[in-house]
Structure 1
Amino acid sequence: MSDRAPQKLLLSIIELGGYPNFTPLYESLGYEVAVATRMRKALGFLKEHRPDVIVAEFNFQSDFRDRTSNLESLLAVVQRLPETRVIVFYEQEFAMQFDNLRARIPVYKALTFPIEASMLQTSLQDPADTVTVPG
């Protein structure tokens, strides 16, 4: 029997990208990383897996009749996964649309582009993951 704790699972949904590959950061924090490049694939993944964290993009799409983005579909599913934290990357120019979505469906953290690795790392670190050294 292994003394190692089970690895945490992170689902990274990269629809448009255009930012650094954060997989090494995720792995350095102890996450097993699954990547989906389409929301449909991510939703299928969630039928079989329960990630600890989902990192996704808010890509506002004004042509959607009943929602603002694919993220809205994801968040509707994730509401049934109370242990899953969602971190969202978004463009400042779409802050108003994103805030409207967040008013209806909360997310754990939201980071504006350009994404700073240090801010993402802080968002991913759980208080239980932090080691306090007595001083």
Structure 2
Amino acid sequence: MSSPPILLMVNAFIGTASYKKLYQELGYAVVTEWSERRAISLVRKTPPAVIVADFYHQADFRDRLSNLESLLATAQSIPNTRILVFYETAHQAVLDKVSARLRIDAAFSLPVQEEQLRTTLRAWLGNTAPP
């Protein structure tokens, strides 16, 4: 019997945490990480099937546009890992800039439509590589 696919929740403060039960009901083994550095280490050691992360932008970021760029850059080399971000609509323009450079497989604005989330994650369970 194979182990369930890992779903990594990163930051878990905007919207990702409220869907943990949904992730588990779909058959994912959920791992939560609040530190981006620790999440990067985990992704390198044990690549998850899915990364679900809260995306945000702060004007005082020195060398980047968002909280996720280092994690996204790490995940680019793992083609079987899907990347889903939740974001505030106010950050859409910044998300567009980041997604032009780094792969993001799906992005949902808050509030997330649970059925859309369920459909996306269920579809990803049956596929091993992003479209």
CA distance in 1, matches of 2:48, 2:73: 15
> What is the CA-CA distance between 1:23 and the residue it aligns to?
1.1
CA distance in 2, matches of 1:5, 1:41: 26
Q: TM-score, normalised by structure 2?
A: 0.87
Please give the root-mean-square deviation of Cα atoms over the aligned residues, in Å: 1.9
> What is the CA-CA distance between 1:20 and the residue it aligns to?
5.7
Unaligned ranges ≥5, structure 2: none
Is structure 2 residue 37 aligned with structure 1 residue 24?
no
- Report how many aligned residue pairs link the two structures: 127
Provide Cα deviations, 1:6-35, integer angstroms capped at 9, x if missing partner.
311100113533566211100111100000
- From 96, 101, 109, the equivalent of 1:104 is 101
CA distance in 2, matches of 1:82, 1:40: 20
Contact 1:9 1:32 (C-alpha < 8 Å) held by counterparts:
yes
Q: Sequence identity, in percent?
A: 37
Q: Highest relative contact order (Cα 8 Å, sep 6+), 1 or 2?
A: 2
The one-letter code of the counterpart of 2:77 is R
CA distance in 2, matches of 1:8, 1:127: 10
**Structure 1 stretches of at least 4 aligned residues deviating more than 6 Å after TM superposition:** none
SS at match of 2:71: helix
Unaligned ranges ≥5, structure 1: 131-135
Contact 1:15 1:38 (C-alpha < 8 Å) held by counterparts:
no
